[in-house]
Structure 1
Amino acid sequence: MTTKQIALLLGGVLPALLLGVSGIFQKLSTSDGSGTGPFLIVVGGTTAVVGGLFLLNEPETGFNLRSSLYAGLFGLVWAISMGLIAIALGRFDAQISQLVPLYNMNTLVAVGLGLVLLAEWRSVNSLQILLASLLIIAGGILAARA
């Protein structure tokens, strides 16, 4: 496998499978009476343990203020998002099969910001990214109407 293929497997395919399963666990947790706060606390504790395991495998990496700030902002935005999803599932009986295609339209935000702010337009085929984005939009519309 090439380095690019390994990167796509580790950063794309495997997380897609794991995040798909995580949506099911989130639905089961909120359906079984977990409140949003306890849900996020348990998820945060689990995340800390997994982070420690990754740190053991990458001892050469460390902390610096700037990267820690970005990580904290990521955690803040992610936790708020997961909390909102938990509320939709637990209080409003939302269907995970409808929510996932909608909230995965976050891809459009990440793609747009990556292309513009991170100048990734220089190293990707922008036309293919645009076509993929249109398919994501179509999928979100179909899921919302299901």
Structure 2
Amino acid sequence: MTLSPQVLGLLVGGLVPALCYGTAGVLAKVSTNAGMSVGGHLICIGVMVSVVGVVFQWLLPGALPSGAAIASSSLYGILWGLGTGFVALGLIQYKTPLAKLVPLYNMNTLIAVFLALIIFLEWQNVDVIKLVLGAIFVIVGGVLVSIA
């Protein structure tokens, strides 16, 4: 059985990251429960992200990036670091249960969807009714889980 490039893209870019991010959330809780500070947590993550970056660059070498590419990736790193730091802060300082925190911060997908619809004009290629219904389900689900 041969999978289409789109299905492979969904598996590689969707399922594998979901497994990685889901497991990473649990490891954040293990780390913070073991006494890791927010700064130390981010430093350890940053070092290992850099190692993974070197491996990806070695296995899949790319051309020299443009200034816009470097700026976008750098801003991504800043925002991701801030988000990850605030998750750790919620776990450490406020003892927020991970099971309630994850559904809320994973509503970030809705922000990415909204921005992609506008910035990249992806609204032209989606069923807006299904998208809105799905977004409502994500919000309701996230709120229900967070107040459980």
After TM superposition, the score normalised by the length of structure 1 is: 0.96
- 1:127–1:61 distance in 2 versus 1, CA, 3 Å: farther
Residues 38 and 85, structure 2, Cα contact 8 Å, conserved in 1: yes
The CA RMSD measured in Å over matched residues stands at 1.0
Sequence identity percentage: 35
Ranges of 4+ aligned residues in structure 1 off by more than 6 Å: none
Match in the other structure for 1:102: 104
Match in the other structure for 2:116: 114
Residues 98 and 143, structure 1, Cα contact 8 Å, conserved in 2: yes
Aligned residue among 8, 27, 30 for 2:10: 8
Supply the AA of the counterpart residue of 2:39: G
Aligned residue among 129, 133, 136 for 2:135: 133
Gaps of 5+ in 1: none
Alpha-carbon offset, residue 145 of structure 1: 1.1
Alpha-carbon offset, residue 124 of structure 1: 2.1
Match in the other structure for 1:76: 78
Secondary structure of the corresponding residue to residue 93 of structure 1: coil
Distance in 1 between the 2:137 and 2:19 partners?
Answer: 19
Gaps of 5+ in 2: none
After TM superposition, the score normalised by the length of structure 2 is: 0.95
Supply the AA of the counterpart residue of 1:6: L
Q: When the two structures are aligned, how many residues end up with a matched partner? A: 146
Residues 55 and 61, structure 1, Cα contact 8 Å, conserved in 2: no
